[in-house]
């Protein structure tokens, strides 16, 4: 066979032969980077859908994963919405509520860590449900997560632009939306995974410094070391008190806490794009969740409860910008003039970071759904630079809704956008815990050994059972608080704004059953495939590697061993 006939059977990707100048070469490489990682033709389209996630860029180092795990979801939930929680439930309810939600979140992340160490796949949350629970549950959970990240970008863009008004800026809000939109979309389209990883690294460092700096200042203020009030101590715990609005107030705090911790699971999506072994990298990154819960939430919110009275007229209300942030209120109450503006910058960076994460999370979830033939193949397009362009472009187009901020109906539009994904976090976490339970039961049913599992959840199967029960209870409490809202009469519109996410999940679940005629509620345990998609297929080799790693660690100095245990 001649060379010409042989080559005619292969798809051809043309690169410019003109490399006479460095500029032309860079421009050519840039243009070619947007071409598909695998040629899009009729013969290979199916192969692309099956393997698109294999072409994702490996841009996440251990440092990136650690910091995303530590500070990745610090955003409006902690910095602004915690003010609503304080007003509704009081400082006592805030601490109990966040502690409770954090406890089952930790179990959820341990379950995710065990699953991802065995099966490091893109869009892992719903794929685990597909593998261990059922196809309808997988579709409903995946589409819920899809919608969650889709609406986050426009929401965070508008919130960030409103924070600019903290300085009484004369520039129209829409102009700031446009600036932030270009920054985020440009980073993801032209910078790709590496740009996302590096910008999140910088944002995480800024958020870390901001929150730790506030904690130090808060301790000084409480002890009377600054400001005009002198010693504050626990006076706000006595007057107006530790608890507001009884059990209903506590229930609203649970919902706020869940919202503030949403996105923690994003570190699991970075597994397939990590340059490190997922068996080692992901468990270490998820360890950071425990420290984030202690430092960022429990300790910081305790200090907030000492500094800001729960009956302050500045808390909550309809405001979603920095003026409603209990952090800014605490600094203002301390009589410090410059720091509120500095912390407002931290709030803006945090909001933009979450918006950036939204594009990343959405594009990977959409890619995974397309690979499973649950979305059009457009979302499975991965270019030569490892960017899932289909999902990024769709997120960018939907993000144009942020310009509704110019409309007098913006509040109503965004209230319904929030409703689309308000309960998504509960279903996402539940898909992880139920998949983990089914995974462990399948191992037991098929007489397999846990020695085959690279990383065992520290909370085990019972931790996942506890987390699943808690998630169901919170979902039921949300139904009650949606039906009988705090301080208001029952209202159909308010009910659907608060509970629309559950309705969508149920509609997707039943709709897929009817459409696909798939009536399987649970895959039989003995039919679950425990071998495909595994990262480690040789159990003996795995145990040898684990033993060698332990022996090497034993020879290291004691402080190195302590570091590896803690981090």
pLDDT above 50 for 18: no
The residue among 28 and 389 whose pLDDT is bigger is 389
Q: What is the pLDDT of residue 537?
A: 62
d(CA 557, CA 550): 13
Q: Determine which of 191-200, 250-259, 326-335, 528-537 has the lowest per-residue pLDDT on average.
A: 191-200
Helix (H) or strand (E) holding 515: helix 492-516
pLDDT above 80 for 268: no
Question: How confident is the model over 274-309, as pLDDT tens digits?
Answer: 555 666 666 666 666 777 777 778 888 999 999 888
pLDDT above 50 for 21: no
The residue among 262 and 563 whose pLDDT is bigger is 262
Q: What is the pLDDT of residue 30?
A: 63
For the chain, give the number of residues: 567
DSSP assignment of 521-555 = SS--GGG---STT-S---HHHHHHHHHHHHHHHHT
The confidence band for 5, taking pLDDT boundaries of 50, 70 and 90, is very low
Q: Is the pTM of this model over 0.85?
A: no
Q: Determine which of 125-129, 393-397, 412-416, 460-464 has the lowest per-residue pLDDT on average.
A: 412-416
| Tokens linked to 15 | 């690169």
Q: What is the pLDDT of residue 15?
A: 33
Q: Determine which of 192-206, 330-344, 412-426 has the lowest per-residue pLDDT on average.
A: 412-426
| Tokens linked to 478 | 């949300």
CB atoms within 10 A of CB 412: 13
Contacts of 380 (CB under 8 A, 6+ apart): 48, 49, 52, 367, 370, 371, 388, 390
d(CA 258, CA 471): 10
Percent of the chain with pLDDT over 90: 15
Q: What is the pLDDT of residue 66?
A: 61
Q: Determine which of 89-98, 163-172, 431-440, 527-536 has the lowest per-residue pLDDT on average.
A: 163-172
Question: How confident is the model over 309-334, as pLDDT tens digits?
Answer: 888 887 765 455 556 678 888 888 88
| Tokens linked to 270 | 């970075």
Only one residue has tokens 């039989």, namely: 524
| Tokens linked to 377 | 């193949």
What is the 8-class DSSP label of residue 381? -
* DSSP reduced 3-state for 8: helix
Burial of residue 3 (CB within 10 Å: 0-12, 13-18, 19+) is exposed
The residue among 518 and 561 whose pLDDT is bigger is 518
Tell me what the mean pLDDT of segment 116-125 comes to: 73
- Domain chopping of the chain, boundaries: 52-536, 539-567
Q: Which has the closest alpha carbon to 308: 287, 329, 291?
A: 329
The confidence band for 239, taking pLDDT boundaries of 50, 70 and 90, is confident
Q: What is the pLDDT of residue 40?
A: 43
Q: What is the pLDDT of residue 100?
A: 92
Q: What is the dihedral of CA 242, 243, 244, 250, to 10 degrees?
A: 140
Q: What is the pLDDT of residue 274?
A: 56
Mean pLDDT of the chain: 78
Q: What is the pLDDT of residue 443?
A: 93
Q: Determine which of 125-139, 232-246, 255-269 has the lowest per-residue pLDDT on average.
A: 255-269
Q: At what angle do helices 326-333 and 300-307 cross, to 10 degrees?
A: 50
Q: What is the pLDDT of residue 419?
A: 67
Tell me what the mean pLDDT of segment 386-406 comes to: 84
The confidence band for 10, taking pLDDT boundaries of 50, 70 and 90, is very low
Question: How confident is the model over 483-541, as pLDDT tens digits?
Answer: 888 877 888 877 887 888 888 899 999 999 999 898 888 999 999 998 887 876 666 77
The confidence band for 472, taking pLDDT boundaries of 50, 70 and 90, is very high
d(CA 95, CA 140): 32
Most confident region among 163-172, 308-317, 391-400, 447-456 by mean pLDDT:
391-400
CATH fold of 52-536 reads Amino acid/polyamine transporter I (1.20.1740)
Q: What is the pLDDT of residue 276?
A: 59
d(CA 540, CA 530): 16
d(CA 419, CA 437): 29
* DSSP reduced 3-state for 29: helix
Most confident region among 42-51, 95-104, 355-364 by mean pLDDT:
95-104
Q: What is the pLDDT of residue 95?
A: 92
The residue among 31 and 528 whose pLDDT is bigger is 528
The confidence band for 41, taking pLDDT boundaries of 50, 70 and 90, is very low
Q: What is the pLDDT of residue 394?
A: 92
Residues pairing with 36 in the sheet: 383
């Amino acid at each position: 066979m001649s060379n010409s006939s042989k080559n005619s059977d292969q798809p051809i990707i043309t690169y410019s032969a003109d490399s006479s100048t460095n500029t032309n070469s860079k421009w050519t490489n840039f243009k070619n980077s947007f071409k598909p990682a695998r040629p899009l033709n009729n013969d290979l389209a199916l192969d692309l859908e099956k393997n698109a996630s294999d072409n994702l860029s490996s841009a996440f180092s251990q440092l990136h994963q650690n910091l995303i795990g530590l500070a990745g979801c610090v955003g409006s939930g902690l910095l602004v919405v915690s003010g609503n929680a304080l007003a509704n439930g009081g400082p006592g309810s805030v601490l109990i509520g966040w502690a409770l939600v954090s406890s089952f979140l930790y179990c959820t992340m341990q379950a995710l860590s065990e699953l991802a160490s065995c099966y490091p796949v893109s869009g892992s949350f719903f794929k685990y449900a597909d593998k261990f629970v059922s196809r309808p549950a997988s579709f409903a959970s995946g589409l819920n997560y899809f919608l969650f990240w889709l609406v986050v970008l426009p929401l965070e863009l508008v919130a960030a632009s409103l924070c600019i008004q903290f300085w009484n800026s004369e520039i129209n809000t829409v102009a700031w939306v446009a600036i932030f939109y270009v920054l985020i979309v440009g980073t993801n389209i032209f910078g790709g995974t590496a740009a996302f990883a590096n910008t999140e690294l910088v944002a995480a460092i800024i958020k870390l410094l901001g929150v730790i700096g506030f904690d130090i200042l808060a301790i000084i203020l409480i002890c009377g070391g600054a400001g005009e009030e002198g010693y504050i101590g626990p006076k706000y715990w006595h007057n107006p008190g530790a608890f507001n609005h009884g059990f209903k107030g506590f229930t609203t705090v649970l919902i706020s806490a869940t919202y503030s911790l949403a996105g923690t699971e994003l570190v699991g999506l970075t597994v397939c794009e990590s340059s490190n072994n997922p068996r080692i990298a992901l468990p270490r990154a998820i360890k950071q969740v425990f420290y984030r819960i202690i430092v960022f939430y429990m300790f910081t919110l305790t200090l907030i409860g000492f500094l800001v009275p729960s009956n302050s007229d500045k808390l909550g209300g309809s405001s979603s910008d920095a003026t409603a942030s209990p952090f800014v209120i605490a600094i203002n109450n301390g009589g410090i003039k410059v720091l509120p503006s500095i912390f407002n910058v931290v709030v803006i960076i945090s909001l933009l970071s979450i918006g950036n994460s939204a594009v990343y999370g959405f594009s990977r979830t959409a890619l995974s759904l397309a690979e499973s033939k649950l979305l059009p193949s457009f979302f499975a397009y991965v270019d030569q630079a490892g960017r899932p362009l289909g999902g990024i472009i769709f997120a960018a187009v939907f993000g144009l809704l942020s310009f509704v901020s110019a409309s007098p109906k913006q509040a109503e539009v965004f209230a319904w956008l929030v409703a689309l994904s308000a309960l998504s976090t509960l279903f996402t976490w539940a898909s992880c815990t139920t998949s983990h339970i089914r995974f462990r039961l399948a191992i037991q049913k098929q007489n397999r050994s846990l020695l085959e599992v690279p990383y065992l959840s520290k909370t085990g199967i019972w931790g996942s059972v506890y987390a699943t029960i808690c998630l169901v209870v919170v979902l039921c409490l949300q139904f009650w608080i949606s039906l009988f809202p705090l301080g208001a009469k029952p209202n159909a519109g308010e009910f659907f704004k608060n509970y629309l996410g559950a309705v969508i999940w149920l509609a997707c679940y039943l709709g897929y059953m009817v459409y696909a005629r798939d009536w399987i509620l649970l895959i039989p345990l003995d039919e679950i495939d425990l071998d495909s998609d595994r990262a480690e297929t040789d159990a003996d080799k795995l145990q040898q590697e684990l033993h060698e790693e332990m022996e090497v660690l034993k020879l290291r100095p004691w402080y190195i061993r302590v570091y590896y245990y803690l981090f």
